[in-house]
Structure 1
């Protein structure tokens, strides 16, 4: 054939040459690979990913599709993604080191339209080895490739450069260390390839330039640093001058002074109310400029805090160039063979581009999104993985990290630190013991000097345990709150489940109190409105009670005169205390711990374990009042809590799944017990990528994001129902503020009552809720008990 085609743009009947596509994807991959010194390895998968399109079968297929768009050939009828990987295996199959790398790259190339294959699965089979061989002559295809893309001699030189990069990575490493490295390297290369491939296809569809360059946000970061410095100076001048504001300034200054530290993993143990959000940003802006890193990523457990923090940062830095990523409003559907048209494929690309690939200088997202990027199966997550390299990643409220993901989290952080020039900041007033578990995290230091001298300045609450042998009833809690409201103007009650919050809200409302209710059943815009109203009410000293789930604890900037906390983990109690007397308005305020009925251990095992371990500390302190200096929230008490908490849950730390298998072993083990002798000699890599991805869920029950009819959410739903022309990039960002994540049983109830609707395309679905299922008081109003969404997407 005279011309080899990769893609076709129907609007102007223009074809993208295959050689052009391969070179441009290679260029993009090299830029990504450079961030971890694997530019030739990454470039190799870029230039070979569509090598199979040089087959006569594929060229016949694409020409038929172009000439007969009304009845195109069946999608997938020609295999084009296998040949590039097979070419590498033919070149690099004789020596162990080259075969190890060739297998990894072949897996990436094989699956660039899907997800990485298991080298060996739990049944002792190899989906990787079962990849069908193409029928076309690879040598004939290679001849055309060398003629159009790169001369063979240059290709050989390029491959040698790639191999040199790999040998440098694995030098003097054990088999176990190489296995862990290879898992993440494959993920990184897969991320680079699918981002490059999809970006190039989109640019061709939209007739945009494809001259890819390394991204630099240095001018923006310099401007942001200057604006933040001025804003902080103004805040300091306007703040109430007391020991707390003085100590906040000290902590902030310490972060600025430590910005020239080497890249690494650091803790930032600023006490609750100590201003860690802006102090960590101050460190990050100086650090990213000092090390010429590319972006600052803030990972936060609750969407409530993302909304609050992102809004504050946008205002202080005077920028809209901040990506706030909560959830995936657009839900992908699996491709159905033969069900598409070229128009549908083009629409899908536009839908995919609406889901940002995290190409932004400032990103605020959740722990669910972050962990999915590394371990979940779907390529829409993995596409963002390479953006974690050469960045500063700030984990706010790191104590909220799900227990079952701790070992997986620690390994990912060590990879980013050691190979990707990434700096990790673990922020919390209650540091978890991540360096004391089996697969530990090597922490390079604490950013605050002489922290123990600062902590007393932030002691502004007295915690009293009212835990008793018999659980408190809802009526008793309501009565106790009523008594306290005779002494204070406002009060916060925090409970462990949405059902408990709803019951207390109703009881107190019936008693005539001005009550506000916060729940993950409410969309972000709704919660922000309630928080804003509460802050105004607190300013005016009007009577107010707020009943909330745990979502209010982690960093929500609101200060109550009294807090009642249902017994929970010690870290949760400390965070609840942080919502009391937050700015030192009084010398000391009261926080009470009471014991409501424990939630179901079936769904909330970690909460129940936290309650039990806190109960042990309370018991010991009741027997010895001098224990932990009489302070339930002391650093020594917190260390003791996490040590025993993780020990009690040690069987969960490696993410245990069916029949005692652990995702940690499936991902990283170089000597997995299920590897049969028949495969041991045929494969050097043994990672079960697909199995890990299929089983990995940050929260045990997967949720569906639905748009709700609240304020502007009604307008978004109207657009969907009218099937108007929608700018999906803008739509998704708006919809995040008006969406709620529902559990499977909630979705079934919505469907049963005819309250759930869907906007469908051939490849995606957007769910929304009809009028009547959402209320001002309760949010998404579905009967029944619900699990607490501790980490909302």
Structure 2
């Protein structure tokens, strides 16, 4: 009798079986190969061999179906399988076996080893569980005490068919040796990083939490990959020849750079020459040792290609696995990825993973499955993704998100516009990046014109150096705008509108960025009335997050066309763009005049980067103004930035705010104005995500107060991974998505309101719908509900009624 791990039936009705032994050995070997370079090969192999321990049971216990009976049902009664899916526990047995065989005694390292491997095994289908919740309850201990899971039958099968008792014991103690060595390295790293005992303690427990995440990601990836390879009948690992690929991409990038034509004279030539210098410095710096580096250069200095030039040089020298580019907004990820694709002339080696990228409609099922596998594994040489996806990969804890973590090892990660990192993520991001650098060979580049001084916080990121030295001279070379601070007046839409129209008529085009979507709507309407009354040939464009992605892309393309025609002289049509801050980072467009509502100095600098971007004029104009009755209570980070900037502008001339010394002073004050709890990701419970992911003092105290099972008998590590993952999702999902009737969105609303029975068809509709979703805050949703503007459809999200979506401004809250 074959003890099965997986079964499949082909089109002819023929049944194929993957034996449990083969599956366990395959997963263990895959995990060992991934973990061995980082000193955890035996730990990973042990976990892989035991992860499906209870699948070998053939007999029922108290009428509970065994896994082998479940395998038979899949073949005999496939239509009934859904009734049993998830109800046959095969993941608890391996953890129980480890505890029962090796958990006798007081050796702390043995307890830690059992914890590490056991939690990964218990979690490999559910997502990463809590060692100890913030309320003092332990998923881990509860599962260890679960009855009627592990029997002598599974133990006998394992020793007879998979691994002998002697070899298992040898493997266990090899893994124990790895854990002890790793503990020494982690302890030494904590002491090198800080003299503060509290910081050392937080870092120590956080790092061990990252070790657990690594073990978990290796298990989830190997388990899913082996199952998919069995179903497909072939290896799904891509054999990338990265050495030749990096050389090829490097040559193509050099060819592209050589093809650029230098402007003949003026400011444009000076800027182009300075871009070349920055790019050359980045390439030469690529030979430096792996580490975390900052790239602090002005907006418009060509960071996208320059940082890629560094990455390729570094990847060639140190044989890195992949280059990952992390971009804050989906609104700009398309243009950055397209630029690199055009340079490399390769679609096969570049993956975009963000909500705006969907499988093509003409893909076959196999192609769609392949696309899904790539986005789950990140098994590509060059990856473009969003900050949200990256943070989910580090901290979410779900199988789908955490599976990508294995792809970060020995990679180069470029963070574009790092200043957009949410303040609440400061400490957990810093610690995670320090760990990845030291224990998995990651090289990271923090790119921005406004470096947020993450290395000068109480839990600092360990930066190894700045790529471009003499930054004062570099910033002077990019001085292409003058500033004007309109500080003596508070503006309304009605009083600001005439200024925008006046400058548009005089200088050709104007960008105005405000802090609130309501301000953008009001200002757009006021300017629209002025233009209609004046008869001037002016195009007005509005951009905000209350427009769906498809709508924003359309408006940005329209704006590019108007600007291009004006700059080339083929049209005299003027342009006014009124936007929220989504126009600030990474949008490669140049305006003669930029108006920016007072915000943090980093935002003012980013807005200035959209002014005279390529030196088309001898000098652009940036006007900073203040809005009347501006309520920023719901945007505390912006509110703090405004106050710090206002105070700084009392002592610093606005013409000098882009000087590195003043940017550093701003960020010093900005982070000082934030509470330590906020930088630690404060939760509604008053706990912090940092605590849950490190020492979990709240959970320890609650556990002692409840007089539950003595956790110390079973637990060494106490992180609340499950609670942390749920908190990250809940807080980051404080908005509700609404499907809007913009263009194809109307057809999707109708289709999802119909009876769609095919799961594949339904999934395809949901994927397309992402382009037509708008996120609204809870108070905005309540307002729309009071207006009768939203309704629930049969098979989908809330949808917006047609009368409440405006082709100029998006969702209309005032109809």
SS in 1 for 2:27: helix
Match of 2:715 in 1: 683
With normalisation by structure 1, the TM-score equals 0.88
Match of 1:61 in 2: 70
1:92-136 per-residue CA deviation (whole Å, 9 max, x = no partner) reads: 323211211211110110111112222222222222111143425
Which residue of 581, 598, 613 corresponds with 2:644? 613
Higher relative contact order (CA 8 A, sep 6+): 1
Match of 2:362 in 1: none
Which residue of 423, 428, 433 corresponds with 1:413? 433
Output the aligned Cα RMSD.
3.2
SS in 2 for 1:492: strand
Match of 1:22 in 2: 24
Match of 1:274 in 2: 301
> For residues 31 and 766 of structure 1, what CA distance do their matches in structure 2 show?
43
SS in 1 for 2:234: coil
Does the 8 Å contact 1:353/1:729 carry over to 2?
no
Match of 2:2 in 1: 3
> For residues 392 and 598 of structure 1, what CA distance do their matches in structure 2 show?
45
Does 1:510 pair with 2:529? yes
> For residues 714 and 27 of structure 1, what CA distance do their matches in structure 2 show?
50
Match of 2:131 in 1: 119
1:450-494 per-residue CA deviation (whole Å, 9 max, x = no partner) reads: 2222221100111111123x6311111102212323421000000
SS in 2 for 1:356: helix
Does 1:165 pair with 2:190? no
The structure-2 alpha-carbon separation of the partners of 1:67 and 1:723, relative to structure 1 and needing over 3 Å to count, comes to: closer
Does 1:89 pair with 2:99? yes
The structure-2 alpha-carbon separation of the partners of 1:502 and 1:50, relative to structure 1 and needing over 3 Å to count, comes to: same
The structure-2 alpha-carbon separation of the partners of 1:162 and 1:498, relative to structure 1 and needing over 3 Å to count, comes to: same
> For residues 723 and 671 of structure 1, what CA distance do their matches in structure 2 show?
48
**Once the 2 structures are TM-superposed, how far is the Cα of residue 708 of structure 1 from its aligned partner?**
5.3
Does 1:635 pair with 2:635? no
The structure-2 alpha-carbon separation of the partners of 1:688 and 1:410, relative to structure 1 and needing over 3 Å to count, comes to: same
**Once the 2 structures are TM-superposed, how far is the Cα of residue 711 of structure 1 from its aligned partner?**
5.3
> For residues 734 and 218 of structure 1, what CA distance do their matches in structure 2 show?
37
Match of 1:133 in 2: 146
> For residues 136 and 616 of structure 1, what CA distance do their matches in structure 2 show?
64
> For residues 584 and 257 of structure 2, what CA distance do their matches in structure 1 show?
24
Match of 1:591 in 2: 622
Match of 2:493 in 1: 474
> For residues 404 and 698 of structure 1, what CA distance do their matches in structure 2 show?
14
Which residue of 503, 507, 512 corresponds with 1:484? 503
Does the 8 Å contact 2:225/2:236 carry over to 1?
no
> For residues 290 and 729 of structure 1, what CA distance do their matches in structure 2 show?
43
> For residues 712 and 8 of structure 1, what CA distance do their matches in structure 2 show?
41
Does the 8 Å contact 1:120/1:675 carry over to 2?
no
> For residues 149 and 613 of structure 2, what CA distance do their matches in structure 1 show?
70
**Once the 2 structures are TM-superposed, how far is the Cα of residue 356 of structure 1 from its aligned partner?**
3.5
Q: Residues 218-237 of structure 1: matches in 2 within 5 Å?
A: 218-237=243-262
Does the 8 Å contact 1:670/1:686 carry over to 2?
yes
**Once the 2 structures are TM-superposed, how far is the Cα of residue 273 of structure 1 from its aligned partner?**
0.8
> For residues 709 and 530 of structure 1, what CA distance do their matches in structure 2 show?
16
Quick check: 738-747 or 547-556, which moved more?
738-747
> For residues 386 and 415 of structure 2, what CA distance do their matches in structure 1 show?
9
1:366-395 per-residue CA deviation (whole Å, 9 max, x = no partner) reads: 111111111124322111111111111111
SS in 2 for 1:455: helix
Match of 1:342 in 2: none
Match of 1:333 in 2: none
Which residue of 531, 538, 542 corresponds with 2:556? 531
1:632-685 per-residue CA deviation (whole Å, 9 max, x = no partner) reads: 222122111111111111231011123432221121127555254543454211
The structure-2 alpha-carbon separation of the partners of 1:754 and 1:15, relative to structure 1 and needing over 3 Å to count, comes to: farther
Quick check: 93-102 or 259-268, which moved more?
93-102
Quick check: 670-679 or 451-460, which moved more?
670-679
Which residue of 423, 426, 431 corresponds with 2:446? 426
Which residue of 78, 95, 104 corresponds with 2:88? 78
Does 1:400 pair with 2:439? no
SS in 1 for 2:68: helix
**Once the 2 structures are TM-superposed, how far is the Cα of residue 259 of structure 1 from its aligned partner?**
0.5
1:384-427 per-residue CA deviation (whole Å, 9 max, x = no partner) reads: 11111111111111111101110010011001100111101000
Quick check: 234-243 or 38-47, which moved more?
234-243
Does the 8 Å contact 2:27/2:219 carry over to 1?
yes
**Once the 2 structures are TM-superposed, how far is the Cα of residue 14 of structure 1 from its aligned partner?**
2.7
1:710-739 per-residue CA deviation (whole Å, 9 max, x = no partner) reads: 556677778866767858999888766555
The structure-2 alpha-carbon separation of the partners of 1:688 and 1:37, relative to structure 1 and needing over 3 Å to count, comes to: same
Does the 8 Å contact 1:372/1:698 carry over to 2?
no
Match of 2:312 in 1: 285
Quick check: 183-192 or 273-282, which moved more?
183-192
**Once the 2 structures are TM-superposed, how far is the Cα of residue 244 of structure 1 from its aligned partner?**
0.6
**Once the 2 structures are TM-superposed, how far is the Cα of residue 327 of structure 1 from its aligned partner?**
2.5
Match of 2:517 in 1: 498
> For residues 454 and 332 of structure 2, what CA distance do their matches in structure 1 show?
23
Does the 8 Å contact 2:804/2:813 carry over to 1?
no
Match of 2:363 in 1: none
> For residues 478 and 181 of structure 1, what CA distance do their matches in structure 2 show?
53
Does 1:783 pair with 2:793? no
SS in 1 for 2:482: strand
The structure-2 alpha-carbon separation of the partners of 1:86 and 1:236, relative to structure 1 and needing over 3 Å to count, comes to: farther
Does the 8 Å contact 2:242/2:319 carry over to 1?
no
Match of 1:337 in 2: none
Match of 2:478 in 1: 458
Match of 2:222 in 1: 196
Match of 1:146 in 2: 159
Q: Residues 665-744 of structure 1: matches in 2 within 5 Å?
A: 665-669=691-695, 674=701, 676-677=703-704, 678-697=710-729, 700-703=732-735, 710=742, 726=760, 739-744=773-778
> For residues 520 and 123 of structure 2, what CA distance do their matches in structure 1 show?
46
1:147-186 per-residue CA deviation (whole Å, 9 max, x = no partner) reads: 2223333333333332233222212544835422210011
Match of 1:762 in 2: none
**Once the 2 structures are TM-superposed, how far is the Cα of residue 243 of structure 1 from its aligned partner?**
1.0
1:346-370 per-residue CA deviation (whole Å, 9 max, x = no partner) reads: 9x99996485332221111111111
Match of 1:340 in 2: none
Does 1:320 pair with 2:347? yes
Match of 1:580 in 2: 611
SS in 2 for 1:383: helix
Match of 2:119 in 1: 107
The structure-2 alpha-carbon separation of the partners of 1:685 and 1:465, relative to structure 1 and needing over 3 Å to count, comes to: same
**Once the 2 structures are TM-superposed, how far is the Cα of residue 769 of structure 1 from its aligned partner?**
6.7
The structure-2 alpha-carbon separation of the partners of 1:650 and 1:293, relative to structure 1 and needing over 3 Å to count, comes to: same
**Once the 2 structures are TM-superposed, how far is the Cα of residue 695 of structure 1 from its aligned partner?**
1.1
> For residues 142 and 236 of structure 1, what CA distance do their matches in structure 2 show?
71
Unaligned stretches of 5+ residues in structure 2 = 59-65, 188-199, 359-365, 532-537, 567-572, 705-709
With normalisation by structure 2, the TM-score equals 0.86
The structure-2 alpha-carbon separation of the partners of 1:50 and 1:701, relative to structure 1 and needing over 3 Å to count, comes to: closer
SS in 2 for 1:425: strand
Does the 8 Å contact 1:328/1:355 carry over to 2?
no
> For residues 459 and 517 of structure 2, what CA distance do their matches in structure 1 show?
34
The structure-2 alpha-carbon separation of the partners of 1:476 and 1:314, relative to structure 1 and needing over 3 Å to count, comes to: same
Match of 1:184 in 2: 210
> For residues 763 and 80 of structure 2, what CA distance do their matches in structure 1 show?
30
Does 1:553 pair with 2:552? no
Does the 8 Å contact 1:24/1:211 carry over to 2?
no
SS in 1 for 2:141: coil
The structure-2 alpha-carbon separation of the partners of 1:288 and 1:274, relative to structure 1 and needing over 3 Å to count, comes to: same
> For residues 236 and 723 of structure 1, what CA distance do their matches in structure 2 show?
56
| Count of matched residue positions in the alignment of Structure 1 and Structure 2 | 755
Quick check: 239-248 or 309-318, which moved more?
239-248
